[in-house]
Every structure is written in C-alpha cells, then in structure tokens.
Amino acid sequence: MKTKTQKIVMASLLAALCCVATMIIKIPSPLKGYLNLGDCVVLLSGWILSPLYGFFAAGLGSALADVFSGYVTYAPATFLIKGIMALTAYFGFKFLNNKIGNLTARIISAVVAETIMVLGYFVFEGFLYGFAPSVVNIPANVMQGLAGIIIGIVLVKIFEKNKIMMD
C-alpha cells in the first residue's frame, strides 16, 4: 500500500512529465493547436495512478503546457479532455484486464481514451472556429493519439517491469 504522500509525489511527477512531454515537441496543427507527445503520459497516468490522482496529473499537466505555450484558450478544455482520458484509461483497463489480458486491455482502453481526445477537441474547436473547419484537425489528432498509445504502452511496460505502480 502506497502512502498518500507517495501518491501525491507520483501524481506531481507525472503532471510535470506530462507538461514537459507536451511542450518539448510541438508540431503546429491547422487550427492553431499543436501535435505533441503528452498523450503517452496522460495514458500512463491513468494506468498507474488511482482515478482521482490520474485525472489531476493528466489534466493539470496538459493544461499547464497549454498555458505556458501560449494556448490559454485551450487550457480549460484540455484539462477536462486529458483528465477524462486518464479516467477512461484507468476504468477501461480495470474492466477489461481480467477478461482479455493486460496488453489487449491497455490497447482498447487507450483507443477509447484517444477517441475521446479526438472528439473532445473536435467539439471544442467546433465551437471556437466552426465545425466544418475543425474537421481539418481530426487526422492530426488521430496521429497524436496513435503515437500516444504506442509510447504509452512501452512506458507502462517499463513501469510494470520495475514495479512502479501506484494504484
């Protein structure tokens, strides 16, 4: 059993890592957003932390990256979308793990979480720029999601091998 302090420290570290992973590689997307590697840490936060800690680590780390990078308009939506992604990864994995196995459960929970990301930003950008123009960011967000799934699964396997799990 991990102490509350250990959980807070791990959530804080993952929030910081999420922020850095989001900011370190930014490829501009057509509608003023950007592609990044933060989703792998969002998924990792959901898989290794409890739901509340995972939500805040993913949401806060990603939203801070938006604020620090000059995308303040996106920060509230990012906080919710990335937090919900972490919750989806957590609950999807917990529900499926005993039924279909570890790797398959991670892949499915990640695909559902990334689908939420793509749809979440489509709706958010639809209200900002109009729904027809926001369609242009869907392929870029899908590519970001695929990268997040692949790297996230590699990271969680490393964490599992080294017994770095907080839930």
Is the Cβ–Cβ distance between 151 and 37 less than 8 Å?
Answer: yes
Instruction: In whole angstroms, give the CA distance from residue 13 to residue 158.
Output: 16
Res 14: pLDDT: 97
Share of the chain above pLDDT 90, in %: 87
Number of other CB atoms surrounding residue 96 within 10 Å: 18
Q: What is the DSSP string of 91-156?
A: HHHHHHHHHH-HHHHHHHHHHHHHHHHHHHHHHHHHHHH-HHHHGGGHHHHHHHHHHHHHHHHHHH
Q: Which helix (H) or strand (E) holds 28?
A: strand 27-28
Res 50: pLDDT: 94
Res 1: pLDDT: 55
Instruction: In whole angstroms, give the CA distance from residue 49 to residue 42.
Output: 11
Res 128: pLDDT: 94
